Structure 1
Amino acid sequence: MSAPIPIQVHYHKQARELELIYEDEVSFRLSVEYLRVFSPSAEVRGHGGPESATLQVGKKHVGLTNISQVGRYAIKLHFDDGHDSGIYSWEYLYDLIQRRESYWNGYLKQLEQAGASREPQGIEIRQL
């Protein structure tokens, strides 16, 4: 069974959340941080498989600068930290929705084990 295709995608800039709206007005919001941390790009997931994945740290305040449609099957998210190489298929986004709690808890555990943080390091520079 293939994943449903959203009828609308909306970026809530202040909340830093991407909302996917499906038929019958069913909607889900995913934080941009969550989407950035679980980017499907080889840069994040690893070129050689999961064992070569790069733990994403300091992404708590990341936002989006743009969203592009990729054919009829995906969107490309352009993050304000410069990352824009992941293509988020409808199937992948729906998987992120369905397994959000499990994925997020696993990520937090990885951060803890690595002694890393969601908080950005250094001075935060923001555009208003």
Structure 2
Amino acid sequence: MTQLTEQEARQMIAVVNTRNVDKIVEQYADDATFQVPNMEKPLHGKESIRSYLSGSFVAFPDWTIDVSKVYITGNDVVVVNSVRGTQTGPLAGHDGKSIAPTNRKFFEDQMTRVVLNEGGKVQSFRAYGKQLDIAQHVELPK
């Protein structure tokens, strides 16, 4: 695989901003891992990732990623970004219960590390940030 360009990395992120789960998941390897700050353990495989994203986009239909910087070395991509959205849909809680829409907005600065496999698919996705910020912005129960 040739090294990804910054423009290609930004295009991959632009697909996320469409909130088209099928198009997003197409970018992942079958055995990819995915982890965001509120997860104790990473998700494994495309179907787990699909399920998580589908639920997130129902809860936050205006979910948007804004990119500040992209750093690329080989198959390793680091993105400095912010994420924002409004919780206008039900949000699945960790206990399996649904949290009613709060209609509150959130904003979070993040750093995301993406590792690509030899075929150019996302092998590992890991976002780092303060997930508590989101919980506080949308006033989720403690």
TM-score when scaled to structure 2?
Answer: 0.35
Kindly indicate which of the two structures has a greater share of residues assigned to strand: 2
TM-score when scaled to structure 1?
Answer: 0.37
Higher relative contact order (CA 8 A, sep 6+): 2
